[in-house]
Amino acid sequence: MGISPIAPRDLTPITDYVEGSFVPISRLTHDWEFHSALTLSPAEERTMVREPVQAVPTAIAQRLGKLRVLAVAYIACLETGDVVSRQKPKGEAHTAAWVETPERINLLLACRELDAHDTGFELLGSVAELLRPRLTHSEVTAYSEILEEEMRHGVRGEIDEDALNAKQVYLPTRTGRRFRAQFERYRDISFVSTTAEYIHGLWHDVQIRVGPEHLPVAQLRRRMELMAELFPPNAGYRVFDETVEKTEEKTE
């Protein structure tokens, strides 16, 4: 379904690629656009792009403004910068990249070797990354306070591996001169991961991961409540599903 009108050279810098003339394959929620250089089935398009975009709260979409999603085969990472490639890169590659122009954000998703759901989650992770520098001071403060409260209660886990690694780097510096810089790095990574999971949970039911490396359910709920306060779900979407409720009952 739908082929981009541009057949890129084998390696095209993403800054050049987004300058092409694209006829939208379809319009998405929030008046975002979708284009694909790959042939996708209706089910793939729905899972990769349409459903996750519908789950993005309007308050977040408004911060980002106009956005165009471009599905490509691969995004290779070269010394000269990121490039769109039709062939599998031999070296490092990205699953997502974006180029911001005065007109819009161009979000590229590398789809050749990811299943549709994973591509959809990469989209949500990119949305969360793009939101972070657009936060207000009060929003940053509110999230910082949640992290500080968790640490006062001795919570060692985090929402995913990236946030956990950043937290483990930060904790030994809490009494050192690098404290503030490491905290801000940890906070930013944690916020992005938490926001992605928040929208993920709005999109569909997700399994709650338990264990010492993961957030206890009470702290997970508090984070999701804050996300819902800052960026309310769209009509018809709910923050907590039965899985959360049942998990909480077991931990009480």
Please report how the helices 179-203 and 161-170 are oriented relative to each other, as an axis angle in degrees rounded to 10. 160
Q: What is the mean pLDDT of residues 143-166?
A: 95
Closest CA to 124 of 179, 183, 201, 25: 201
Q: Mind spelling out the 3-state secondary structure of 51-102?
A: HHHHHCCHHHHHHHCCEEEEEECEEEEECCEEEEECCCCCCCEECEEEEECC
pLDDT of 9 over the 70 cut: no
pLDDT of 212 over the 50 cut: yes
pLDDT of 8 over the 60 cut: no
- pLDDT score for 210: 83
**DSSP-derived secondary structure for 207-236:** PPP-STTB--HHHHHHHHHHHHHHSPPPTT
Residue 22 token pair = 């694209």
Under DSSP, is residue 119 helix (H, G, I), strand (E, B) or coil?
A: helix
Distance (Å, whole) CA 91 – CA 72? 17
- pLDDT score for 123: 98
pLDDT tens profile 53-100: 999 999 999 999 999 999 999 999 998 999 999 999 888 999 999 999
- pLDDT score for 24: 66
**Would you place residue 7 in the very low, low, confident or very high pLDDT band (cuts 50, 70, 90)?**
very low
- Which residues, listed in sequence order, are joined to residue 87 by a DSSP beta bridge? none
